[in-house]
Amino acid sequence: MDPSYTRDFLWYKDAIIYETHVKAFLDTSGDGVGDFAGLIEKLDYLEDLGITCLWLLPFFPSPLRDDGYDVVDYTGVHPSYGTLKDFRRLVDEAHRRDIAVIIELVVNHTSDQHPWFQLARSAPAGSPERDFYVWSDSEAKYKGVRIIFTDTERSNWTWDPVAGAYYWHRFFSHQPDLNFDNPRVLDAILEVLRYWLEMGIDGFRLDAIPYLVERDGTSCENLPETHEVIRRIRADVERTYPGCMLLAEANQWPADVRPYFGDGDECHMAFHFPLMPRIFMALRREDVEPIQDIMQRTPAIPESCQWGLFLRNHDELTLEMVTDMERDYMVLAYAREPGTVLNVGIRRRLAPLVDNGRHRIELLNSLLFSFPGTPIIYYGDEIGMGDDVRRPDRDGVRTPMQWSSGVNAGFSRADPAALYSRPIDDPVYGYPAVNVQAQLRDPSSLLHWMRNMIRLRKQFRVFGRGSMEFLSAGNRKVLAYVRRWEEDTILCVANLSRHPQPAELDLSEFAGATPVEMLGYTPFRVIGRDPYVLTLGGYGFYWFELRQRG
């Protein structure tokens, strides 16, 4: 760890996070799998894009039956990706560019190949070793608890012939859940945490955090005992590495996510899961209601906390946090192609979700960058990469980064048959058409646009820290909101319709101020007492800085 490296404790509030998998970024060893050395080589690209935090998907030793979320050793790295030394070098090189690094803490479950599970299944019933996991003689225990991977699992229990008992798992049956009623489990996890923190990382995404503790007669989600575990984790971090950020993956309704911030004594950040599908819904319905409704139902959070905002990630676009009717609508609107629905969600990347519509991609990113929270970009979405719904599980959205139109998309020099995954090669989204090299050369590319937006966003702390109020635009297709923080006031107006739309805003409270359009630095008409009238092109948006006279 570089001792000269320091960070403001609230760094995550102004961050731009970039999510990627080591395996998918760049392969320098030529074995067909991306590696740490490749990621290091591409840090200049990420710095140039403007991101300030790298979120790495799991890179630990693993049989890779759940892309690394099935961990067999929490303190190593998968040999395909390099060595611990390479990882350390990545952290140092990222820090040199002022890029923070956050990694996964897969806290709820391990692989069934993990030595803890192997020990547990043969240890005597009731022993502390056996009790590392959750066992039962019958499948009736915790009856009624929902199944998450509905396409593959029929039960949350699986029979283990070695133990002669059932073990509990909320995800795949090869991922037994750890038992947090056993104090040794938390001790072991805290050791893992300290181990990585000593290497200088800046935070953890706490994977599948709602499911840590089980109790009969409950949904086994969000239990007070689970929050107690998280408070213990936070207290430990606070004591040893106070700048470390904890990001909760709690796919729950806003009211149930809120407790993951605690009184500022649990997680620093949590993903805003319910917002994401509603942005897509509002866009398709050309109606601001789903967005306004969910934002109004989003409770206030402690001062030091922050929402994590995202449009797409490495999983399916989950539809767990919507009503049945909304789910039907989303499937009809976005998943007509056979094979697109996976579990309770839609396995698509951003560009194909919006039919590769450049205006829609820009509009959605404008919301991502201007809503209250920290934006998270999924690798490849900055160039509009596509997906392939015919591949198993979520593999179709985890294909190699498209660097160039050369062999293997410039990702690897391996024999194409040796690649961990074929790059996307269809005529619209394939690497000959969509790649970084071409977009760097093309000043009108999506990549350039993203870079500019990130730059702009970083100049205004109000986006990461300010309040948000919605205004009526006198038109249900136009979303208008004001962001305020300290001296800064920003007005955002977004047209969710494909056609031009008028907006009439009551801005009398800002009378005398000049709205300066932030992309072109153009002053608009001074605000008066009358309704402020604007016209927006199809899927157009404005960001205005409201400048008071004098």
Sketch the per residue contact string, 521 through 540, with ligand GLC: x for CB under 6 A, - otherwise.
--------------------
Name every residue whose Cβ is closer than 8 Å to that of residue 68 and which is 6 or more positions away in sequence. Answer: 21, 57, 58, 59, 60, 62, 78, 104
Cβ-closest residue to ligand GLC? 69
**Sheet of 135-136, strand order:** 135-136, 165-168, 157-160
- In the bound complex, what is the minimum distance in angstroms from residue 377's beta carbon to ligand GLC? 16
129 within 8 A of 162, measured Cβ to Cβ: no
Nearest by Cα to 379 from 322, 425, 314: 314
Closer to ligand GLC by Cβ: residue 174 or 358? 174
Angle formed at CA 414 by CA 31 and CA 402, multiple of 5 degrees: 105
Closer to ligand GLC by Cβ: residue 53 or 106? 106
Sketch the per residue contact string, 247 through 266, with ligand GLC: x for CB under 6 A, - otherwise.
--x-----------------
Distances (CA, A) of 384 to 155, 304, 351, 353: 38, 33, 5, 11
Sketch the per residue contact string, 349 through 388, with ligand GLC: x for CB under 6 A, - otherwise.
----------------------------------------
Among 69, 166, 403, 541, binds ligand GLC (CB under 6 A): 69
- In the bound complex, what is the minimum distance in angstroms from residue 394's beta carbon to ligand GLC? 7
Alpha-carbon span 244 to 198, nearest angstrom: 11
196 lines the binding site for ligand GLC (CB under 6 A): no
Mode of pairing for the β-strands spanning 53-56 and 100-105:
parallel
Nearest by Cα to 272 from 366, 367, 168: 367
CA R_g for the chain: 24
Closer to ligand GLC by Cβ: residue 175 or 222? 175
Among 27, 35, 66, 160, binds ligand GLC (CB under 6 A): 66
How big is the site for ligand GLC, counted in residues (CB under 6 A)? 9
207 lines the binding site for ligand GLC (CB under 6 A): yes
Closer to ligand GLC by Cβ: residue 69 or 542? 69
- In the bound complex, what is the minimum distance in angstroms from residue 365's beta carbon to ligand GLC? 22
- In the bound complex, what is the minimum distance in angstroms from residue 205's beta carbon to ligand GLC? 8
Closer to ligand GLC by Cβ: residue 171 or 329? 171
- In the bound complex, what is the minimum distance in angstroms from residue 218's beta carbon to ligand GLC? 20
> What's CA 9's distance to the chain center, in Å?
21
> What's CA 61's distance to the chain center, in Å?
22
Per the annotation, the verdict on 207 as an active-site residue is yes
- In the bound complex, what is the minimum distance in angstroms from residue 346's beta carbon to ligand GLC? 15
Mode of pairing for the β-strands spanning 374-378 and 17-20:
parallel
Per the annotation, the verdict on 249 as an active-site residue is yes
Kindly state the helix (H) or strand (E) to which residue 495 belongs, with its residue range: strand 488-495
Burial of 216 (0-12, 13-18, 19+ CB in 10 A): exposed
Burial of 33 (0-12, 13-18, 19+ CB in 10 A): buried
Structure tokens at 165: 């008992």
Nearest by Cα to 196 from 74, 278, 294, 112: 74
Closer to ligand GLC by Cβ: residue 260 or 463? 260
- In the bound complex, what is the minimum distance in angstroms from residue 106's beta carbon to ligand GLC? 6
Alpha-carbon span 508 to 240, nearest angstrom: 50
Among 163, 208, 305, 491, binds ligand GLC (CB under 6 A): 208
Closer to ligand GLC by Cβ: residue 62 or 366? 62
Q: Which of 202, 249, 315, 388 is catalytic?
A: 249
315 lines the binding site for ligand GLC (CB under 6 A): yes
Closer to ligand GLC by Cβ: residue 24 or 208? 208
Angle formed at CA 221 by CA 217 and CA 223, multiple of 5 degrees: 80
Residues between 381 and 440 that touch ligand GLC (CB under 6 A): none
19 lines the binding site for ligand GLC (CB under 6 A): no
- In the bound complex, what is the minimum distance in angstroms from residue 423's beta carbon to ligand GLC? 21
**Residue 147 DSSP label:** P
Q: Which of 67, 112, 131, 207 is catalytic?
A: 207
Q: How many helices (H) and strands (E) does the chain have?
A: 16, 22
233 within 8 A of 239, measured Cβ to Cβ: no
CA quadruple 144, 146, 151, 154: dihedral, nearest 10: -30
Q: Please tell me whether residue 192 adopts helix, strand or coil conformation.
A: helix
Among 171, 273, 541, 544, binds ligand GLC (CB under 6 A): 171
Alpha-carbon span 463 to 297, nearest angstrom: 20
- In the bound complex, what is the minimum distance in angstroms from residue 145's beta carbon to ligand GLC? 15
Name every residue whose Cβ is closer than 8 Å to that of residue 487 and which is 6 or more positions away in sequence. Answer: none
- In the bound complex, what is the minimum distance in angstroms from residue 283's beta carbon to ligand GLC? 24
Closer to ligand GLC by Cβ: residue 160 or 207? 207
Closer to ligand GLC by Cβ: residue 266 or 315? 315
Residues that bind ligand GLC (CB under 6 A): 66, 69, 171, 175, 207-208, 249, 314-315
The catalytic site residues sit at 207, 249
